[in-house]
């Protein structure tokens, strides 16, 4: 085992303080929250986290892709303090403040598309999705939404109607919005049609046309196509390069393209938006998570022509565009620019991909490695030939990592997801990957023996 510089863990996890908090949490906090392991945070800086018993962890989870500039970046903290001393809330639903204009100008300039755009603000990813659903219906006056199986767009009732990644998320919530049509995501490692890319010549698109558009979806009643440019919660899946471009035939029919960038946006994939890797310019974009380095803020950016179809009072939220969160977002965007964090994401993403691909060569249980920038997944299987999902193995690996000082979580049923802060250092990343490799090796030998 290599010497550790950042990860420092005592003998027993959870320690006594963590165990107490976990027990109290179970008593008072909704059981609908599911957690991977008993980490109880005491403090965090950059990509290193301390728990309440003095253990130290490297952060490969970034508060689920939220801590884009790491924990407590000094410029973000300074912005929060500065704004808090001026005013903490005033509600943009009824009053004006200037930093909102500044942030909107910045966002509009960062989103692709040679057309004018406007921004609507909420507090969470799901709220941005709700806004995009409401706006696209309002503009088109059409009822139907298209989305993918495996998609995750949030858990409120509208967003949940688009979400299709785990049955538990919908359990007991029906009826949802009925006019929502799901079709398969282009998941080449597990192609639903058992085809191989590129020989398949995008059979998935032909299938969608033949079995959906020609059979039962009245195309002129579709308001919008919601997609994750890389699928996140569904398992960290990168689509084949031309997929979205091929789906653009829908736009000729007046269907709006909504790129859900809540997990992929704000530089995570090495470009500001994930969709920029695929040569498609969306009509609406949803952002949240990494936009304000941890303060609750979401944005729905749309062509002005669409946004102007809303009349005053048609949509709003009291806490949307909270001025402290707005200031944190401005600081986040500035840190990403001045510290060249998208470049860091690209460079270190390549380091992670290379090391994980080496693990794939070495270990039977690493089935597939995929990603862009610091949005990286490694799918764990029982064995490479059957590709049977290694759910239990993936869980054992993340537990091993936790016990050895790395916060790693899964996506989908059996994919390890590597989403550290965009400013993680190469040393931190490599130490984290050392722990991943030890975990993979340990579980691989258990699983191939058994």
Q: Which residues bind ligand PLP (CB under 6 A)?
A: 124-126, 129, 152-154, 228, 232-233, 260, 262-263, 288
Burial class (CB in 10 A: 0-12, 13-18, 19+), 105: exposed
Looking at the Cβ atoms of 161 and 444, the one nearer to ligand PLP is 161
Question: Minimal CB distance to ligand PLP: which residue?
Answer: 125
Shortest distance, position 278 Cβ to ligand PLP, whole Å: 16
Shortest distance, position 421 Cβ to ligand PLP, whole Å: 17
CA-atom Rg of the chain in angstroms: 22
Q: Are 424 and 249 in contact (CB under 8 A)?
A: no
Instruction: Kindly state the helix (H) or strand (E) to which residue 207 belongs, with its residue range.
Output: helix 203-208
Residue with tokens 């809540």: 262
Looking at the Cβ atoms of 131 and 440, the one nearer to ligand PLP is 131
Looking at the Cβ atoms of 360 and 370, the one nearer to ligand PLP is 370
Shortest distance, position 264 Cβ to ligand PLP, whole Å: 7
Shortest distance, position 354 Cβ to ligand PLP, whole Å: 26
Side-chain-side CA neighbours of 30 within 13 Å: the count stands at 3
Looking at the Cβ atoms of 205 and 292, the one nearer to ligand PLP is 292
Q: Are 149 and 182 in contact (CB under 8 A)?
A: yes
Shortest distance, position 296 Cβ to ligand PLP, whole Å: 8
Shortest distance, position 19 Cβ to ligand PLP, whole Å: 27
State how far the Cα of 419 lies from the Cα of 274, in Å rounded to an integer: 14
Looking at the Cβ atoms of 144 and 285, the one nearer to ligand PLP is 285
| Beta-sheet strand order (sheet of 48-51) | 41-45, 48-51, 56-59, 406-407
Cβ partners under 8 Å of residue 22, min gap 6: 14, 38, 40
**Omega of the bond leading into 175 within 30 degrees of 0 (cis):** yes
Give me the helices (H) in 29-152, please: 62-65, 74-86, 98-110, 125-140
Shortest distance, position 233 Cβ to ligand PLP, whole Å: 5
Looking at the Cβ atoms of 119 and 129, the one nearer to ligand PLP is 129
State how far the Cα of 349 lies from the Cα of 419, in Å rounded to an integer: 9
Looking at the Cβ atoms of 46 and 232, the one nearer to ligand PLP is 232
Looking at the Cβ atoms of 75 and 155, the one nearer to ligand PLP is 155
Q: Are 271 and 222 in contact (CB under 8 A)?
A: no
State how far the Cα of 446 lies from the Cα of 444, in Å rounded to an integer: 5
């Amino acid at each position: 085992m290599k010497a550790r510089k950042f990860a420092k863990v005592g003998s027993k996890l959870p320690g006594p303080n963590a165990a107490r908090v976990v027990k109290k949490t179970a008593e008072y906090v909704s059981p609908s929250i599911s957690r991977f392991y008993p980490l109880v945070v005491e403090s965090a800086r950059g990509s290193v986290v301390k728990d309440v018993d003095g253990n130290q962890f490297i952060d490969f989870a970034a508060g689920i892709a939220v801590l884009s500039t790491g924990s407590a970046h000094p410029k973000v903290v300074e912005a929060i303090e500065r704004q808090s001393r001026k005013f903490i809330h005033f509600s943009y639903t009824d009053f004006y403040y200037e930093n909102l204009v500044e942030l909107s100008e910045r966002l509009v300039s960062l989103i692709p598309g040679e057309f004018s755009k406007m921004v609507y603000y909420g507090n969470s990813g799901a709220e941005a999705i709700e806004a995009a659903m409401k706006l696209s219906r309002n503009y088109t006056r059409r009822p139907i939404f298209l989305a993918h199986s495996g998609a995750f767009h949030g858990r409120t009732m509208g967003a949940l109607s688009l979400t299709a990644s785990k049955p538990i998320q919908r359990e007991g919530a029906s009826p949802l919005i009925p006019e929502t049509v799901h079709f398969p995501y282009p998941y080449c490692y597990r192609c639903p049609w058992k085809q191989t890319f590129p020989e398949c010549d995008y059979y998935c698109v032909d299938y969608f046309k033949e079995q959906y558009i020609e059979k039962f979806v009245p195309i002129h009643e579709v308001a919008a196509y919601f997609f994750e440019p890389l699928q996140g919660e569904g398992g960290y899946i990168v689509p084949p390069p031309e997929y979205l471009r091929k789906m653009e035939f829908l736009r000729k029919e007046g269907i709006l393209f909504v790129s859900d960038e809540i997990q992929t946006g704000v530089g995570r994939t090495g470009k500001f938006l994930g969709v920029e890797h695929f040569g498609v310019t969306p009509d609406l974009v949803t952002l949240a998570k990494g936009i304000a380095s941890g303060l609750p803020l979401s944005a729905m950016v749309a062509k002005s022509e669409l946004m102007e179809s809303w009349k005053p009072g048609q949509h709003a939220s009291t806490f949307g565009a909270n001025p402290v969160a707005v200031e944190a977002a401005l600081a986040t965007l500035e840190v990403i620019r001045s510290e060249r964090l998208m470049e860091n994401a690209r460079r270190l993403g390549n380091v992670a991909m290379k090391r994980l691909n080496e693990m794939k060569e070495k270990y039977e249980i690493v089935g597939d490695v995929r990603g862009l920038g610091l949005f990286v997944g490694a799918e764990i299987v029982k064995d490479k030939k059957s590709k049977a999902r290694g759910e239990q193995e993936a869980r054992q690996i993340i537990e091993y990592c936790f016990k050895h000082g790395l916060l790693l979580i899964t996506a989908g049923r059996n994919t390890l997801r590597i989403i550290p802060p965009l400013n993680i250092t190469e040393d931190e990343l490599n130490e984290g990957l050392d722990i991943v490799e030890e975990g993979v090796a340990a579980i691989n030998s258990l699983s191939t023996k058994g």
